[in-house]
């Protein structure tokens, strides 16, 4: 067996011929060999955007309430350990290696993808640690995602938009149907998209889930100094705005609070813990502002829906100087859609190639920008660090540098900002 975590991760990358291989038969077989039968409630969270923020809020609120909280998310930015947390503490290399070894022994000759292997290892670790509740973020879609082998006590779909269309379908109707398959019979099924495709509600009805729709069954109302959460027969007044930026975060916060309300009988949470959790929640790479002159804003926005959220956030920040965009994306994403969403907010583009097999070449990004925003200057760079270095040299103290387009883009900049919160 590999000797350390890096060795294990390299081994996992070679284990299956495909990076993504949807289907639950193989992973379910290994789960049963491992005897993974969690006796704690699980909240499963899916969605095109917002699922990471919703998981972070749930995690922080339950921690504030005094519970031992597991959280499994993906992808990571700087360290694999970010994916596997108990009480917000990343699992150590040694503990992850121990979990990987347990999965490897049970796997026998069954092939598993990197994400499938990691999902089983995370749950093995959580069971070993005797957690009170687990929050699991779906990796891709829902129906055939590895996380879906575990039955949730409550399931959340945050938003539905066009992404991963090669796997999930080419319209919101099909994508919504795939994501709604995390719902379970006679179990709370929340939707945080204010205008979901009809397939979400119809799939919930087909499954026999207890469907709750934001804006109907629960939601939020903005006030002068905060916001109110409402649900049928309940209201929590004057909540603090989430520490995560953006009005759209209130949809995610509403989903988190509604999920907590659904599970109050088995894992009660006082209102004070909700307030504290909203104030203290943190999540790297989601409109993460690194103070300085110039300021640096990091956002993993990699599809048009997320890019529109980033644009809205930028418009809410006082603007004295220019906005310089360090921009790099994966080639299989809707690059033009992301550019259109942010075109009015950017004064100069510094585009870079991503050092990954799926990365788009800087020349491709530049071509799209020249076509869509011909009047805005564009510079090309071989990699993200080079683009960011030039942005820092070019920016005045009142300017803003935004680095966005993928997790890889943000990670490359984060490594060069050791003083940024969360590093």
Give how far Cα 119 sits from Cα of 74, 149, 179, 391, 415, Å. Answer: 10, 10, 18, 38, 26
Which range is least confidently modeled, 16-25, 102-111, 201-210?
Answer: 16-25
Strand locations in 300-347, DSSP E?
A: 323-327
Per-domain boundaries in the chain: 5-280, 288-414
End-to-end CA distance of the chain: 31
CB atoms within 10 A of CB 7: 13
Give how far Cα 331 sits from Cα of 54, 346, 360, Å. Answer: 27, 21, 4
Q: What does the pLDDT average to over 248-272?
A: 96
Alpha-carbon distance of 394 to 273, in angstroms, equals 44
175, two tokens: 């994508």
33, two tokens: 């060999």
Q: Do domains 5-280 and 288-414 have the same CATH topology?
A: no
The reported pLDDT for the residue numbered 21 is 62
Pick the CATH number of 5-280 from 3.60.15.10, 3.30.420.40, 3.40.1190.10, 2.120.10.90: 3.40.1190.10
Element (H, E) at 219: strand 218-222
The reported pLDDT for the residue numbered 418 is 65
Nearest Cα residue to 368 out of 419, 317, 422, 405: 405
The reported pLDDT for the residue numbered 58 is 98
CB atoms within 10 A of CB 89: 9
Phi, psi of 242 (to 5 degrees): -60, 145
Query: pLDDT tens digit string along 316-353?
Result: 887 789 999 999 999 988 999 999 999 999 999 999 99
Residues 23/134, Cβ–Cβ less than 8 Å = no
pLDDT bin (cut points 50, 70, 90) of residue 47 is very high
Q: Which sign does the torsion angle of CA 138, 288, 351, 419 carry?
A: negative
Nearest Cα residue to 172 out of 149, 152, 191: 191
Alpha-carbon distance of 20 to 115, in angstroms, equals 8
- Residues 6 or more apart whose Cβ sits within 8 Å of residue 37: none
Whether the pLDDT of residue 232 is over 80: the answer is yes
Pairing of strands 69-72, 400-404: unpaired
226, two tokens: 């905060």
The reported pLDDT for the residue numbered 403 is 97
Q: What are the residue ranges of helices labelled H in 86-143?
A: 93-107, 114-128
Whether the pLDDT of residue 163 is over 90: the answer is no
Q: For residue 23, give the DSSP letter.
A: -
- Give the chain's radius of gyration (CA, Å): 21
The reported pLDDT for the residue numbered 272 is 97
The reported pLDDT for the residue numbered 364 is 96
pLDDT bin (cut points 50, 70, 90) of residue 122 is very high
Average pLDDT value over all residues in the chain: 92
Q: Which sign does the torsion angle of CA 368, 371, 375, 378 carry?
A: positive
pTM of the full structure: 0.92
The reported pLDDT for the residue numbered 419 is 53
Q: What does the pLDDT average to over 182-193?
A: 97
The reported pLDDT for the residue numbered 195 is 93
Whether the pLDDT of residue 144 is over 90: the answer is no
The reported pLDDT for the residue numbered 143 is 82
Query: pLDDT tens digit string along 11-22?
Result: 998 887 665 566
Residues 61/282, Cβ–Cβ less than 8 Å = no
pLDDT bin (cut points 50, 70, 90) of residue 87 is very high
Quote the distance between the C-alpha of residue 397 and its chain's center: 31
CB atoms within 10 A of CB 43: 29
Pick the CATH number of 288-414 from 3.40.1160.10, 3.90.190.20, 3.40.50.410, 3.20.20.70: 3.90.190.20
Residues 310/285, Cβ–Cβ less than 8 Å = no
The reported pLDDT for the residue numbered 421 is 57
């Amino acid at each position: 067996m590999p000797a350390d975590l890096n060795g294990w991760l390299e081994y996992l990358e070679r284990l299956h011929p495909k990076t993504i291989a949807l289907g639950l038969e193989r992973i379910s077989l290994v789960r049963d060999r491992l005897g993974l039968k969690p006796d704690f409630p699980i909240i499963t969270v899916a969605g095109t955007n917002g699922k990471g923020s919703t998981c972070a809020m749930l995690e922080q609120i339950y921690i504030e309430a005094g519970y031992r909280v597991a959280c499994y998310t993906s992808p990571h930015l700087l360290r694999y350990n970010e994916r596997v947390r108990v009480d917000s503490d990343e699992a150590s290399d040694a503990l992850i290696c121990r979990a990987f070894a347990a999965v490897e022994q049970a796997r026998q000759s069954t092939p598993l993808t990197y994400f499938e292997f990691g999902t089983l290892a995370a749950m093995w670790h959580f069971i070993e640690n005797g957690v009170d509740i687990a929050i699991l973020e779906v990796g891709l879609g829902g129906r055939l995602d590895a996380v879906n082998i575990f039955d949730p006590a409550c399931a959340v779909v945050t938003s539905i938009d066009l992404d991963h269309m090669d796997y999930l379908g080419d319209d919101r109707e099909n994508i919504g149907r795939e994501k709604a398959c995390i719902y379970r019979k006679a179990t709370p099924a929340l939707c945080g998209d204010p205008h979901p495709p009809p397939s979400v509600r119809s799939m919930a009805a087909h499954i026999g889930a207890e469907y709750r729709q934001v804006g109907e069954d629960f939601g939020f109302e903005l006030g002068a100094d905060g916001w109110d959460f409402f649900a049928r027969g309940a209201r929590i007044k004057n909540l603090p705005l989430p520490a995560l930026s953006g009005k759209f975060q209130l949809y995610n916060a509403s989903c988190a609070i509604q999920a907590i309300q659904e599970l109050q009988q088995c894992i009660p949470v006082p209102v004070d813990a909700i307030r504290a959790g909203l104030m203290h929640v943190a999540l790297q790479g989601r409109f993460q502002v690194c103070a300085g002159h110039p300021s640096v804003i990091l956002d993993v926005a990699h599809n048009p829906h997320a890019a529109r959220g980033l644009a809205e956030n930028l418009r809410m920040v006082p603007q004295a100087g220019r906005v310089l965009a360090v921009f790099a994306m994966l080639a299989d994403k809707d690059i033009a859609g992301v550019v259109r969403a942010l075109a009015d907010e950017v004064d100069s583009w510094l585009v870079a190639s991503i050092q990954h097999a799926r990365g788009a070449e800087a020349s491709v990004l530049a071509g799209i920008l020249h076509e869509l925003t011909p009047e805005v200057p564009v510079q090309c760079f071989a990699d993200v660090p080079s683009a960011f270095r030039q942005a820092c040299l070019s920016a005045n103290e009142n300017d803003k540098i935004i680095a966005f387009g993928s997790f890889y883009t943000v990670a490359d900049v984060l490594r060069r900002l050791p003083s940024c919160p969360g590093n």
